[in-house]
């Protein structure tokens, strides 16, 4: 078996939309911890994960850290009480959508299974694209 196919079969991608609440990052860390003991490689696609890492590091304490890779595109949605204009929010939303699509285009050959976690309705374009590429899709 070619090694790239072997790697893809043993890799799972977790897609999580970067919603503002810290709780979401904590839940993502919890899920990644469990999955990192089942799959040899876990790639997390989200925004602002690295920035939140110091706050959720305890949630990753029991993870198999060497199995986790993070594709972080440094954007997240603004919280509802953030005084940002509607136009700025719209642009950030578009940037996040574009980041997901770019990430999928770049890395889809590295995994066979994609798990969609938080903010599923916002990630439908990526999900459809992955489905067309024949990936196995799991929803949380």
Partner 1 sequence: MNILDFSLITAIKLADVVITEIIDPAFEDPTKLKHARTRLPIALRFIDIERFKKLKTINERKYDIGFIGRLEPEKGLHEFIRAIRILNAKGYNPHVLIAGGGSLINIAENFLNKINATVLSYIPHNQMPDLYNEVKILVLPSKKEGVPTVLVEALACGVIPVVSKVGGMPWLIQKANAGIMLDELYYKSIYNALEYLLNLKPEELEDISQKSRKFIEDYFAINKAIRRYSVLRKILI
Note the residues at the interface with partner 1 (CB under 8 A).
Answer: 23, 26-27, 30-31, 33-35, 37-39, 55, 58, 61-62, 113, 116, 120-124, 127-128, 131, 136-140
Nearer to partner 1, 74 or 128 (CB): 128
Angle (nearest 5°) at CA 93 between 133 and 118:
60
Between 94 and 138, CB nearer to partner 1: 138
CB of 124 to partner 1, least distance (A): 4
Looking at the Cβ atoms of 103 and 127, the one nearer to partner 1 is 127
Shortest reach from residue 121's CB to partner 1, in Å: 4
Beta-carbon-side half-sphere exposure of residue 4 (alpha carbons within 13 Å): 4
Give every CB contact of residue 110 below 8 A, 6+ residues apart in sequence. 7, 8, 11, 13, 43
Q: Are strands 41-46 and 68-72 parallel, antiparallel or unpaired?
A: parallel
Closest separation in Å from C-beta 84 to partner 1: 19
DSSP single-letter state for residue 77 = P
């Amino acid at each position: 078996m070619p090694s790239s196919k072997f790697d893809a079969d043993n890799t799972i991608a977790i897609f999580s939309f970067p919603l503002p609440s810290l709780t979401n990052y904590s839940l993502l860390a919890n899920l990644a911890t469990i999955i990192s003991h089942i799959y040899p490689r876990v790639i997390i696609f989200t925004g602002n994960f690295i920035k939140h890492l110091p706050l959720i590091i305890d949630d990753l304490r029991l993870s198999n850290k060497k199995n986790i890779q993070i594709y972080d595109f440094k954007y997240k949605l603004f919280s509802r009480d953030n005084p940002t204009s509607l136009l700025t929010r719209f642009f950030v939303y578009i940037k996040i959508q574009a980041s997901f699509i770019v990430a999928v285009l770049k890395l889809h050959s590295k995994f066979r299974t994609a798990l969609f976690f938080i903010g599923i309705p916002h990630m439908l374009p990526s999900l459809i694209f992955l489905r067309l590429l024949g990936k196995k899709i799991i929803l949380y």
